[in-house]
């Protein structure tokens, strides 16, 4: 995997001069401005006005990916305690100490060189004018430090803050207020939203960024040293073999990689390594480091996402890096995994280009890295390797084929995200959801789907029944719609799973011993679509028909709270209780005088459920197929109503 990152980065640097290579490296380490649909956020600027000797607070450019390289901002590392030298960064409070800490950085790391003397002199003038000695509390103790003198804030800002001594926290609160009050579309934004999405803060002098001054080159060189060159100074270098490209060169073992992933394909690991010999465990040359960091940045920006509300992933291409279509291929798969109906079709030109790729001799090969990240900790949850693009196309084409069946008439939607929604705890089923409780099981299922390994049928039904019960008894939601859709959607998933991976654990079909053929065209069509599940399985067909008749009773009861659904045990129906349920259905059909009009379906149901009392069917399977019949009956009523009305699925 680490080789894939490096090769992707190499494509970005191919053919560049050393100077351009340095700049390109830095560009790919910059912060990607965050955005949120239908809301506009802006860069926040602390401007040091040398004419008035005042500190001004302004809004800058709109936060967008297009402006990323204009901002040229860098995140403060969460590990260690590095100098806060970036003039554009991701946290406002760091700008308080940027000028004095850049001076300290120059004095510490470049004390033997006079290369940055003029830059240092410039910064000292700024420090003398705008900074002062302050005190902060650190672990209960007072500590002195040098930071911006907020007594020099513009008077109107100080009056609005309304405090004699203004802190950086007060400045942060003021900036949130400025964002919301000046732009109507931010009126509804919560403070937590602003903290999450405003991630570009700049320190400017007389309205100019540090890159617009005569010290641009000095600043760029110092940042480059901080992010890369310091790992390759003479004190850190050893002669040896690079652990990535395999060439003999100057190498280092003292590196900082954003993703602690490299052990996923470099198996060697040694304990008790000292500073002097740790390069023997993992070493890297300068060229590979540059390419690796750029590759990581590219993957983080373009090929990542989240599934199951809390499980993050990266799609990592392993070949065809120079093909202009590989981004489109990754994006198409990414859209499918995100599971939004509006994104899965894509634009015509994009799909046309991808189709060209499909007919090439060499298929795209991708890795899928699932992870969690908490501050400095990066944990790999699952690493699925060497998955072909054609395999992913087959998987999602099968799902699309099922959902495009005429019977569903675009009223039933199933996308990849339904795997999570139907089978795992989510906000519709649980008040609080912790992805740690299900992430291992979810990724195991996903891995089976991708690799074509058989899926445990019993476990799938058990999970679904548990989640559906939570849905159904949650009074905040439209239970009728859940009852109408969920089991149809789950039947689609079952058919999909069987097509792409197959089942183990209780799925085996029995021989069809029924004598009375089914005549209802809609039921026959449903069984045709899901023939892998129902064909030649007498009991499943019979249970489905039993549920279909229960829906007829529910319609007569007009969905009263004390209806027939109270007789169904959502935790599972033992096979010996099916006969009792049939008797109850018979009785209610007679009570509501609808027995004769449903006599055909009733006879077909009884014919198929003979001997079920002695079967080995589990309770989860029985209740699922009964409720599938209820769901289908309700769906048909809704379908014909919508066709007559010509409206949307509400």
Which of the four pLDDT bands, split at 50, 70 and 90, describes residue 234? confident
Please state, for a pLDDT cut of 70, what percent of the chain lies above it. Answer: 86
Residue 207 phi, psi (nearest 5) = 80, 5
The domains of the chain are located at 32-224, 509-649
Residue 442 has pLDDT above 70, yes or no: yes
pLDDT value of position 421:
93
Residue 630 has pLDDT above 90, yes or no: yes
Measured CA distances, 638 to 121, 465, 589 (Å): 76, 23, 22
Averaged over 114-142, what is the pLDDT?
A: 92
Which of 11-20, 313-322, 487-496, 611-620 is most confident?
Answer: 487-496
Averaged over 137-161, what is the pLDDT?
A: 90
281 or 591, which is more confident:
591
Residue 268 phi, psi (nearest 5) = -75, 140
Which of 297-306, 342-351, 462-471 is most confident?
Answer: 462-471
Which residues make Cβ contacts (< 8 Å) with residue 443, sequence separation at least 6? Answer: 311, 370, 381, 382
Query: Per residue in 454-500, pLDDT tens?
Result: 999 999 999 999 999 988 887 665 567 778 899 999 999 999 999 99
- The region of weakest confidence among 79-88, 414-423, 554-563 is 554-563
| First-last CA distance in the chain | 46
Beta bridge partners of 384: 368
255 or 172, which is more confident:
172
pLDDT value of position 351:
47
How far apart (Å, rounded) are the C-alpha atoms in residues 545 and 291? Answer: 61
Query: Per residue in 379-426, pLDDT tens?
Result: 888 999 999 989 999 999 999 999 999 999 778 999 999 999 999 998
Nearest CA among 384, 379, 382, 366 for reference residue 260: 379
Please report, to the nearest 10 degrees, the dihedral formed by the alpha carbons of residues 170, 174, 175, 181 taken in order: 160
Tell me the average pLDDT of the chain. 85
Which of the four pLDDT bands, split at 50, 70 and 90, describes residue 620? very high
Please state, for a pLDDT cut of 90, what percent of the chain lies above it. Answer: 52
229 or 339, which is more confident:
229
pLDDT value of position 317:
87
How far apart (Å, rounded) are the C-alpha atoms in residues 532 and 508? Answer: 10
Q: How many separate helices (H) and strands (E) can be counted in the chain?
A: 23, 15
Contacts within 8 Å (CB) and 24+ apart, 385-388: 385/1, 386/318, 387/450, 387/451, 388/363, 388/364
pLDDT value of position 177:
79
Structure tokens at 2: 């680490």
Beta bridge partners of 366: 317, 387
- The region of weakest confidence among 52-56, 87-91, 178-182, 309-313 is 178-182
Residue 194 phi, psi (nearest 5) = -65, -40
Residue 251 has pLDDT above 50, yes or no: yes
Averaged over 423-452, what is the pLDDT?
A: 91
Residue 261 has pLDDT above 90, yes or no: no
Residue 239 has pLDDT above 70, yes or no: yes
Which of 59-63, 75-79, 176-180, 319-323 is most confident?
Answer: 59-63
Averaged over 88-116, what is the pLDDT?
A: 93
How far apart (Å, rounded) are the C-alpha atoms in residues 522 and 512? Answer: 20
Which of the four pLDDT bands, split at 50, 70 and 90, describes residue 264? very low
Query: Per residue in 506-537, pLDDT tens?
Result: 887 666 778 899 999 999 999 999 999 998 89
Which of the four pLDDT bands, split at 50, 70 and 90, describes residue 232? confident
Which of the four pLDDT bands, split at 50, 70 and 90, describes residue 29? very high
């Amino acid at each position: 995997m680490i080789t894939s990152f490096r090769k992707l980065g190499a494509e970005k640097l191919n053919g560049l001069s050393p100077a351009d290579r340095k700049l390109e490296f830095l560009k790919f380490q910059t912060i990607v401005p965050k955005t949120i649909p239908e809301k506009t956020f802006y860069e926040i600027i602390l401007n040091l006005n040398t004419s008035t000797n005042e500190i001004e607070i302004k809004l800058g450019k709109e936060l967008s990916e297009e402006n990323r390289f204009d901002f040229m901002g860098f995140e403060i590392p969460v590990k260690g305690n590095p100098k806060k030298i970036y003039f554009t960064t991701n946290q406002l409070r760091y700008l308080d100490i940027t000028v004095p800490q850049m001076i300290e950085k120059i004095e510490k790391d470049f004390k033997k060189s006079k290369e940055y003397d003029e830059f240092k002199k410039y910064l000292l003038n700024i420090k003398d004018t705008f900074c002062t000695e302050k005190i902060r509390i650190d672990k209960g103790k007072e500590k002195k430090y040098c930071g911006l003198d907020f007594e020099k804030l513009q008077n109107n800002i100080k009056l609005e803050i309304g405090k004699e001594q203004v802190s950086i926290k007060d400045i942060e609160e003021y900036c949130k207020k400025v964002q919301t009050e000046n732009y109507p579309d931010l009126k509804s934004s919560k403070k937590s939203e602003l903290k999450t999405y405003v991630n570009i803060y700049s320190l400017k002098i007389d309205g100019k960024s540090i890159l617009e001054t005569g010290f641009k080159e000095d600043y760029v060189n110092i940042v480059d040293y901080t992010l890369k060159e310091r790992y390759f100074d003479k004190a850190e270098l050893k002669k040896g073999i690079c652990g990535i490209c395999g060439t003999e060169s100057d190498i280092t073992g003292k590196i900082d990689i954003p993703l602690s992933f490299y052990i996923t394909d470099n198996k060697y690991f040694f304990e008790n390594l000292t500073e002097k010999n740790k390069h023997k465990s993992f070493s890297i040359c300068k060229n590979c480091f540059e390419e690796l960091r750029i590759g990581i940045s590219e993957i983080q920006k373009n090929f990542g996402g989240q599934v199951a509300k809390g499980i993050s992933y990266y799609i990592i291409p392993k070949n065809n890096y120079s093909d202009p279509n590989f981004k489109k291929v990754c994006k198409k798969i990414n859209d499918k995994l995100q599971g939004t109906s509006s994104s899965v079709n894509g634009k015509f030109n994009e799909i046309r280009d991808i189709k060209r790729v499909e007919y090439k001799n060499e298929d795209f090969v991708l890795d899928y890295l699932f992870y969690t990240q908490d501050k400095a900790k990066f944990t790999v949850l699952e690493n699925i390797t060497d998955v072909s693009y054609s395999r992913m196309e087959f998987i999602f084409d099968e799902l699309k084929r099922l959902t495009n069946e005429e019977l569903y008439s675009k009223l039933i939607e199933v996308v990849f995200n339904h795997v999570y929604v139907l089978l795992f705890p989510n906000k519709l089923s649980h008040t609080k959801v912790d992805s740690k409780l299900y992430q291992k099981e979810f990724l195991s299922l996903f891995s089976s789907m991708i690799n074509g390994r058989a899926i445990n049928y019993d476990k799938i039904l058990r999970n679904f029944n548990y989640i559906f019960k939570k849905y159904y008894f949650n009074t905040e939601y439209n239970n009728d719609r859940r009852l109408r859709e969920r089991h149809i959607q789950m039947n689609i998933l079952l058919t999909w799973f069987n097509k792409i991976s197959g089942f183990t654990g209780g799925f085996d079909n029995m021989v069809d011993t029924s004598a009375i053929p089914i005549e209802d065209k809609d039921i026959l069509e449903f069984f045709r679509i899901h023939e892998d599940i129902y064909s030649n399985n007498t009991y499943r067909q019979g249970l489905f028909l039993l549920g279909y008749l229960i829906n007829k009773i529910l319609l007569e009861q007009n969905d009263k709270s004390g209806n027939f659904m109270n007789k169904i045990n959502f935790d599972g129906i033992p096979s010996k209780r099916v006969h009792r349920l049939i008797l109850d259905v018979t009785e209610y059909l007679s009570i509501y005088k609808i027995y004769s009009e449903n006599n055909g379906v009733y006879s077909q149901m009884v014919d198929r459920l003979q001997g079920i009392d002695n079967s080995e069917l589990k309770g989860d399977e029985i209740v699922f197929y009964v409720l599938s019949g209820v769901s289908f009956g309700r769906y048909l009523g809704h379908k014909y109503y919508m066709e007559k009305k010509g409206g949307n699925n509400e």
